[in-house]
């Protein structure tokens, strides 16, 4: 087995769906990001503009990096994506799960190769993560703009290791979406354009997670029944039914409170319920803002 095969084998043993390799260097998709930002699609996510330069070259984050290992972890498709909490909101915080797995993978790589640097990263690090996943052969870019894995479906998250050794680059996978448009049509707010870019101003996930201020009446109506995130465009993907990889341990869903219970929560109750989930960084105030919007939408819909 090659070193790349051995590393991939260790990644699969740890529960990852797949792994691949990309040379550390310049990004190839900055023009797309710049057009998206210029059109105002990032809404209030100003950190994307602030961190733009770091995304242009991986070596700005880790000067000694020579290769990037990209690994995908599968999470369960949401059985009821029309409202409530997204799959990744219902599990243990996937950032914690992936960082732990990546650190364990780094330890195993040290047994295989003389590495000095193995820096783990998830989407909180300013990397062109989706681009890296595509170049690493993890999957292809679906029409909803997210990566689709042939073995894990559309419900995967990515993690990376920045390594100071040269590894053979993986081969990208051509798109297998065909003429399917289910993900685009599943979005109730038509936030996904025909070029696969998402308008964050209309995206339920961005509104319920990233938006920091109170909702305008229009924003409130766009939220619908969602308390945290939205899985509609990923849950509907036919490739989820073809997935053969198990769900990454730690990303299994839990029971979540409804809007009424959230409005009754105290700060202590919130911390106890959500302290190890992705919801925790949202904070109680914004979660209750979302819950109030959901209840207002229900009253409007039912005329009460």
* Res. 71 pLDDT band, cuts 50 70 90: very high
Residue 27 belongs to domain spanning: 3-163
Q: Who has greater pLDDT, 89 or 44? A: 89
Mean pLDDT of 272-279: 96
22-41: pLDDT as tens digits: 999 999 999 999 998 998 98
142 within domain boundaries: yes
* Res. 46 pLDDT band, cuts 50 70 90: confident
CB-based contacts of 67, cutoff 8 Å, min separation 6: 21, 22, 23, 24, 163, 165, 166, 167
CA–CA distances in Å: residue 237 to residues 156, 184, 186, 234, 241: 12, 10, 10, 6, 8
Q: Does residue 284 contact residue 267 with C-beta atoms inside 8 Å?
A: yes
* Res. 196 pLDDT band, cuts 50 70 90: confident
104-145: pLDDT as tens digits: 999 999 999 999 999 999 998 999 999 999 999 999 999 999
Least confident of 5-9, 35-39, 255-259, 276-280: 35-39
Is residue 146 scored above 80 in pLDDT? yes
CA–CA distances in Å: residue 204 to residues 33, 130, 172: 20, 20, 30
Please tell me which residue in 100, 123, 199, 214 is annotated as part of the active site. Answer: 123
Mean pLDDT of 2-21: 98
Q: What is the pLDDT of residue 107?
A: 98
84 within domain boundaries: yes
- Measured distance CA(205)–CA(229) in Å, rounded: 4
Q: What is the pLDDT of residue 74?
A: 98
Q: Does residue 149 contact residue 12 with C-beta atoms inside 8 Å?
A: no
SS3 182: helix
270 within domain boundaries: no
242-252: pLDDT as tens digits: 999 999 999 99
Q: What angle do CA 170, 173, 174 make, to 5 degrees?
A: 150
8 within domain boundaries: yes
Specify the pTM: 0.93
117: Cα within 13 Å, side-chain hemisphere: 18
Is residue 47 scored above 90 in pLDDT? no
pLDDT > 90: percent of the chain: 89
30 within domain boundaries: yes
- DSSP letter at 130 equals H
What does the DSSP assignment read for 241-302? GG--SPPPTT--------HHHHHT--HHHHHHHHTTSGGGGG-HHHHHHHHHHHHHHHHHHH
Copy the structure tokens of residue 58: 């991986």
Least confident of 45-49, 95-99, 174-178: 45-49
Number of domains in the chain: 1
Mean pLDDT of 158-187: 97
Is residue 304 scored above 60 in pLDDT? no
- Measured distance CA(243)–CA(258) in Å, rounded: 30
123 within domain boundaries: yes
- Measured distance CA(83)–CA(223) in Å, rounded: 9
The residue behind tokens 């995206």 is: 203
What does the DSSP assignment read for 30-61? HHHHHHHHHTTTTTT-THHHHTHHHHTBGGGT
pLDDT, the chain, mean: 95
75 within domain boundaries: yes
Active site residue 93: no
204 within domain boundaries: no
């Amino acid at each position: 087995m090659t070193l790349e095969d051995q590393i991939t084998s260790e990644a699969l043993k740890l529960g990852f769906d797949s792994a691949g390799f990309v040379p550390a260097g310049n990004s190839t998709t900055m023009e797309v990001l710049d057009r998206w930002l210029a059109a105002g699609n990032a809404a209030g996510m100003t950190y994307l503009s602030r961190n733009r330069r770091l995304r242009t070259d991986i070596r700005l984050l880790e000067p000694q990096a020579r290769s990037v290992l990209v690994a995908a972890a599968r999470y369960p498709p949401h059985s009821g994506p029309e409202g409530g909490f997204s799959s990744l909101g219902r599990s243990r915080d996937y950032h914690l799960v992936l960082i732990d797995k990546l650190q364990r993978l780094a330890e195993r790589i040290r047994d295989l190769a003389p590495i000095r640097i193995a820096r783990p990263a998830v989407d909180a690090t300013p990397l062109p993560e989706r681009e890296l996943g595509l170049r690493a052969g993890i999957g292809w870019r679906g029409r909803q703009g997210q990566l689709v894995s042939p073995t894990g479906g559309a419900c995967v998250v990515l993690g990376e290791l920045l390594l100071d050794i040269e590894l053979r680059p993986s081969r990208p996978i051509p798109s297998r979406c065909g003429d399917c448009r289910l993900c685009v049509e599943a979005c109730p707010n038509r936030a996904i354009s025909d070029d696969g870019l998402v308008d964050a101003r209309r995206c339920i996930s961005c509104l319920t997670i990233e938006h920091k201020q109170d909702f305008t009446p229009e924003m409130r109506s766009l939220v619908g029944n969602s308390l945290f995130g939205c899985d509609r465009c990923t849950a509907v993907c036919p490739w989820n039914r073809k997935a053969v990889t198990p769900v990454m341990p730690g990303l299994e869903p839990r029971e979540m409170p409804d809007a009424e219970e959230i409005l009754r929560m105290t700060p202590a109750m919130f911390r106890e319920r959500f302290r190890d989930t992705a919801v925790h960084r949202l904070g109680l105030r914004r979660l209750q803002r979302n819950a109030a919007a959901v209840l207002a939408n229900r009253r409007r819909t039912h005329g009460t």
